[in-house]
Amino acid sequence: MDIIRVEGGHAIEGSVCVSGAKNSALKLMAATLLAPGKTTLTNVPNISDVHVMGKVLKRMGATIEVVDEHSLVIDTSSVDSWEAPYELVAKMRASTAVMGPLLGRFGRAKIAMPGGCNLGARKIDMHILGLEALGVEFDTDHGYIYADASKGLTGTSVTLEFASVGATENLIMAAVKAKGETVIDNAAREPEIVDLANMLNKMGAKITGAGTPVVTIEGVDELHPVEHRVVGDRIEAGTFLVAGAIMASEQGVEVTGFNPVHLGMVLRKMELMGIRTERTENGMKVYRADRIAPVDIQTLPFPGFPTDMQAQVMVLSALADGTSIITENIFENRFMFASELSRMGANIRVEDHHALIHGVDGFSGAQVVSPDLRGGAALVIAGLIAEGVTEVSAIHHIYRGYERFVEKLTALGACVERVTLPDSIDD
């Protein structure tokens, strides 16, 4: 079993460059199915979720050439399967992103019911309702979703009940090959949606309005392969900004490789907490806060406060002078992290989808378990300022979304290491 061991109390400084966005790279990889031939993706994060998506594409018949650590050439010319198997989809919910491209290319898809982080129901009802409006017929059997668009995809108007990122992406990728015009109302506005639309437009799609609540797609007959660079990971950037806010030296920590506009609400809340940040030529610089002010936060779809930054900012709130309230509106199980942070001395009471956080003077090192991707990273960050040693287990969650996480923290001066523990006392 591997754990991350953190010795608290070591200031960090310097510069760290974030990787390409996990939530963008996975969908861009799926979108290559729409354009038979060789598509080149650069700035791809070298993380386990990307490896799983690569296996999904390979199982369908694609070939993937790893040009370097962050560049892939994906050849979908020989793809002849429209099935995403259970053993892969169960590892990562984003595997369902192949549904839209498969419907666009083959007119059918067979997708296992999704897995991924244990954050709650995360049903794909909105995906199905939206695709049904385009003419897709669905059937479920033995844990699989069967989607049939053999009669053709037809453009229409779709209003999403909630601004779901996954549903918006699947609808866009199916609609690019539909006959006529598709209008998605109440579409998700995340930067990763814009990145997907930009690549599809390079391929020959006709998408307007990405990044706004109304996305319009004019269907085309075919798409062609392109080269595209994955947008920088705003959530990884936010994670390192929080690390700097609690443990930066006087020189501060600079985070590069992302667009600060994509973290607008997070930076605004950090400002209200009394944390000083400044724009640099390549990103943002953050300085350690002498005093952290309490703040109330509600997670909402972009441009609201991202649910993927809730755990990291809870670490800050737990050290604030006063009481903060965090309201989780996206995933009902996202507060599993709170009980682990409480083991380190935080004072948090969870009531339904609200967390009441009374600030404490500091944390104590403890053995904690990573409950999910972002919660695991947040526990490591909390360990940076904790007294003594913190050991974080179940770190496979962290490596689903953070590339070289320990190495990047170490380069900043943190005392962090990945340790392999024996399986039993006899080893």
3-state secondary structure of 188: coil
Give binding residues as ranges. 22-23, 93, 308, 330
The partner residues of 65 in beta bridges, in order of sequence, read: 73
Tell me, yes or no, if 415 is annotated catalytic. no
Long-range contacts of 128-136 (CB under 8 A, 24+ apart): 129/161, 130/158, 130/160, 130/167, 130/170, 130/171, 130/184, 131/99, 131/100, 131/103, 131/170, 131/171, 131/174, 133/157, 133/158, 134/158, 134/171, 134/174, 134/175, 134/178, 134/182, 135/178, 136/103, 136/174
- What lies within 8 Å, CB to CB, of 322 at 6+ separation is 293, 294, 358, 359
Give binding residues for UDP-N-acetyl-alpha-D-glucosamine as ranges. 93, 308, 330
The Cβ of residue 290 has, within 10 Å, a number of other Cβ atoms equal to 7
How many Cα neighbours within 13 Å face the side chain of 421? 13
| Whether 385 contacts 319, CB under 8 Å | yes
| Whether 329 contacts 118, CB under 8 Å | no
Q: β-strands 181-185, 214-218: how paired?
A: antiparallel
Rounded to a whole number of angstroms, the CA Rg of the chain reads 22
The active-site residue, picked from 117, 176, 193, 242, is 117
DSSP notation for 393-413: E-TTTGGGT-TTHHHHHHHTT
Give binding residues for phosphoenolpyruvate as ranges. 22-23
Residues serving a catalytic function are: 117
